[in-house]
Amino acid sequence: MQHKGAHSFRYPNWLPALIAVVGFIALWQAVCSLGLVPTYLLPSPMDVVSAFIEDSQLLASHAVTTLTEAAIGLLAGVALGFVMAVVMDRFEVIYQAFDPLITISQTIPTVAIAPLLVLWFGYGILPKVVLVILTTFFPITVALVRGFRSVDPDVVDLMRTMTATRWQIFFYAKLPAAAEQFFSGLRISATYAIVGAVIAEWLGGFLGLGVYMTRVRKSFAYDRMFASIILISALSLALMKGVDLLERVCMPWKKVERK
């Protein structure tokens, strides 16, 4: 009698996702090759790859601009979100006043804000950075505030009885408690940063993937449009992976907990 699972096949965790992606691309290519959808509406994966190679240098130069805008806006949004979260945690009246306003601000569509920013700040880098700050500020602030407030009150009381200062309580109790939620918010913000920069570039600018997309759309070059979309997705995934690596460095105990 064989033991159950003694010779069971164990596959890596990434294998199902890889199979799904390859299957989707194969289906996409088959639909285009069989002529089920006109190529001017849906270019085949081979056409997209060809367009990506032909415009690789141009896409790279536009990507550098978009990444620069996203990085500056993300860093500023994280810094402002951290400061705001600390202030809201420190003063209850500020938390009660601004928590609803921050939530309501996220109901305003990003596309509705971008034209105003271009009108106010022109077609340079500033309106793009401001829009990225606005889109990344909310996830960071909310995640940190919730993390700070998740600390066990008994732990805070114990530290106070041991004559710990307010800043010692913050650094040794509240900050570690909020670390995991902070990185969850940072993953969301990293994605929003790229998308926010591209949306701002749609409405005005000289360089950036959003500007590139607008130009190829007007010329009906949808193979290049798809190439830029794939590049934007790849950049967002790369930023999220960077956040994961940063989390592993800052929170090495999580790896031990998983094991």
- The reported pLDDT for the residue numbered 256 is 56
Segment 44-81, tens digit of pLDDT: 889 888 888 988 899 999 999 999 999 999 999 999 99
- The reported pLDDT for the residue numbered 255 is 63
What does the DSSP assignment read for 164-181? --HHHHIIIIIHHHHHHH
Find out whether 139 and 80 touch, Cβ atoms under 8 Å.
Answer: no
- CATH code of the domain made up of 49-258: 1.10.3720.10
Predicted structure pTM score = 0.81
Work out the number of other CB atoms within 10 angstroms of the CB of residue 131: 29
- The reported pLDDT for the residue numbered 83 is 92
Q: Which of 202, 216, 192 is nearest to 123 (CA)?
A: 202
- Integer angstrom CA distances of residue 31 from 36, 95, 201: 5, 54, 32
Helices 56-90 and 222-250 pack at an angle, to 10 degrees, of 40
Find out whether 193 and 74 touch, Cβ atoms under 8 Å.
Answer: yes
Segment 181-208, tens digit of pLDDT: 889 889 988 888 998 889 888 877 788 8
Find out whether 173 and 159 touch, Cβ atoms under 8 Å.
Answer: yes
CA 119 to CA 104: how far, in whole Å?
Answer: 23
Would you list the domain boundaries of the chain? 11-42, 49-258
| Cα first-last separation, the chain | 32
